[in-house]
Amino acid sequence: MQEPRKLYVKSFGCQMNVYDSQRMADALAKEGYVETQDPADADLVILNTCHIREKAAEKVYSELGRLRKAKQDAGSDTTIAVAGCVAQAEGAEIMKRAPVVDLVVGPQSYHRLPEMLEKVRDGKRVVDTEFPAEDKFDHLPAPSAAATKKRGPTAFVTVQEGCDKFCTFCVVPYTRGAEVSRSVSKIVGEARALVDQGVREITLIGQNVNAFHGEGPDGRTWGLGRLLEELASINGLARLRYTTSHPRDMDDGLIAAHRDLPQLMPYLHLPVQSGSDRILAAMNRKHGRDTYFEIIDKLRAARPDIALSSDFIVGFPGETEADFEDTLDLARRVGFASAYSFKYSIRPGTPAAEHDHQLSEEVKSERLARLHQVLEASKTAFDRACMGRRFDILLEKPGRLPGQLIGRSPYLQSVVVTAPGAGIGDFVTVDITDVGPNSLAGQVVDAVEDRGRTSDRPLVAMEA
């Protein structure tokens, strides 16, 4: 019997890439590829890349340098493919800069991978960064039961792709194209299949997930709130999440879903980017700081135990010290449970890259450190407030010590437990007994029946 061909996929960047990498692996499984964790052992290496910041894009070229050397040293004929947003943005440039690359494939063309690999086998170098008319989701196969089981009890499902917002700093509208939503029936079908295969928690993903406007089974356009309601009716689907959202698309239907659906976890990633109205306008975010506060008030009224997370950019062109202090003030007032903060990175081709008042690295670094301090303090306060609380934990993987398992709280915190008799994919109720910098520890009280709801006590109140 012929040895199976081996595939190594490395994902950079966001959850969309993690999901796409799995779908590529599913498509190639049909062609006889099995996944390996060792690039040296692979017949095909795919780097699924991220272009969001300069550093992310540069990582790809360092990785390609390493692969070239390994390939030379071993005298192997491994096929090297570059996928994702760097592929989309720099297709031909990659071929020039990195002769080791055999294949460049943009995010909308993954379903064509098998035919592209045929061409590579015929000795060609292939670039496909088209936005084809056909829907890749119609052509990408579903994962096998074995693949889903291996990936664990949580899964991503893409509901929309692309973005029409054109924030002035961001490459996504150029690399991922215009906003497109999948139909409700396809999303629900995919979710049901995952649940039948043992998945207990689904995170709906999209570059702009709450801009979702898919065709419903009634022929009308459904928003994300209505979609979540439909998904919540799937038996066995205990938890729902969605990411990444834009404040402008937090409509009343979606906020009501947080009130009405116990399966929807009380944790929302809602990027704000800046706390300054002047900078928000220059970023073309199309909302001000007060709108952001109003949304958070509504969310907290709908679901008092909700916790927030966010993204921030510091050092956007023209940002003054006063603008930056508005950002610090917003961060303190909201009290985020966690947050990501980035130095503004110039992205060629975006409007902000042409701005005359670019800030120095020094100023950006100094502001990032100050913001980081505020966000860390707020994260620590949130985690400490979890001490002594009772949570349902979905067990996801083994811990470091024998008998230990690691699961996630409703707030996505890692919780380490010793739970004899329980296994991956089970829910347990735990009392939080210890709070560390990267994880919590919990004492198991019971196996859970009533999944999802935490107590309705707000954890970190908004300052007046």
Binding site for ligand SAM (CB under 6 A): 14, 52-53, 169-170, 172, 207-208, 244, 246, 271, 273, 311, 313, 342, 344-345, 347
Edge-first strand order for the sheet with 267-269 is 267-269, 307-314, 338-343
Strand residues in 141-274 grouped as ranges (E):
154-158, 160-161, 180-181, 201-205, 214-215, 221-222, 239-243, 267-269
CB contact set of 185 (below 8 Å; sequence gap of 6+): 217
| Contact criterion met (CB below 8 Å) for 142 and 186 | no
Complex with ligand SAM: residue 98 or 308, whichever CB lies closer? 308
Complex with ligand SAM: residue 226 or 347, whichever CB lies closer? 347
Would you tell me which residues interact with ligand SF4 (CB under 6 A)?
163, 165-167, 170, 172-173, 207-208, 246
How far separated are the first and last CA of the chain, in Å rounded?
70
Q: How far is the CB of 246 from ligand SF4 (least distance, A)?
A: 5
| Contact criterion met (CB below 8 Å) for 464 and 452 | no
Residue 367 interacts with which of ligand SAM, ligand SF4, none, CB < 5 to 8 Å by class: none
Complex with ligand SAM: residue 128 or 179, whichever CB lies closer? 179
Residue recorded with tokens 């995170």: 203
The pair phi, psi for residue 434, each rounded to 5°, is -155, 145
Q: How far is the CB of 133 from ligand SF4 (least distance, A)?
A: 23
Complex with ligand SF4: residue 80 or 167, whichever CB lies closer? 167
Q: How far is the CB of 269 from ligand SAM (least distance, A)?
A: 9
Residue recorded with tokens 């039961």: 145
Complex with ligand SAM: residue 88 or 429, whichever CB lies closer? 88
CB contact set of 151 (below 8 Å; sequence gap of 6+): 22, 143
Amino acid at 240: L
Nearest Cα to Cα of residue 191 among 231, 150, 236: 231
Q: How far is the CB of 330 from ligand SF4 (least distance, A)?
A: 17
Residue 347 interacts with which of ligand SAM, ligand SF4, none, CB < 5 to 8 Å by class: ligand SAM
Complex with ligand SAM: residue 88 or 345, whichever CB lies closer? 345
Amino acid at 182: R
Complex with ligand SF4: residue 51 or 246, whichever CB lies closer? 246
Amino acid at 7: L
Q: How far is the CB of 166 from ligand SF4 (least distance, A)?
A: 6
Q: How far is the CB of 173 from ligand SF4 (least distance, A)?
A: 5
Q: How far is the CB of 362 from ligand SAM (least distance, A)?
A: 17
Peptide bond just before 429 cis, omega within 30 deg: no
Dist CA 345 CA 352 (whole Å): 10
Torsion over CA: 291, 292, 294, 299 (sign): positive
Residue 311 interacts with which of ligand SF4, ligand SAM, none, CB < 5 to 8 Å by class: ligand SAM
Residue 173 interacts with which of ligand SF4, ligand SAM, none, CB < 5 to 8 Å by class: ligand SF4
CB contact set of 464 (below 8 Å; sequence gap of 6+): none
Q: How far is the CB of 263 from ligand SF4 (least distance, A)?
A: 26
Residue 338 interacts with which of ligand SF4, ligand SAM, none, CB < 5 to 8 Å by class: none
Residue 50 interacts with which of ligand SF4, ligand SAM, none, CB < 5 to 8 Å by class: none
Complex with ligand SF4: residue 39 or 206, whichever CB lies closer? 206
- In terms of C-beta density within 10 A (0-12 exposed, 13-18 middle, 19 or more buried), how is residue 43 classed? middle
Residue 212 interacts with which of ligand SF4, ligand SAM, none, CB < 5 to 8 Å by class: none
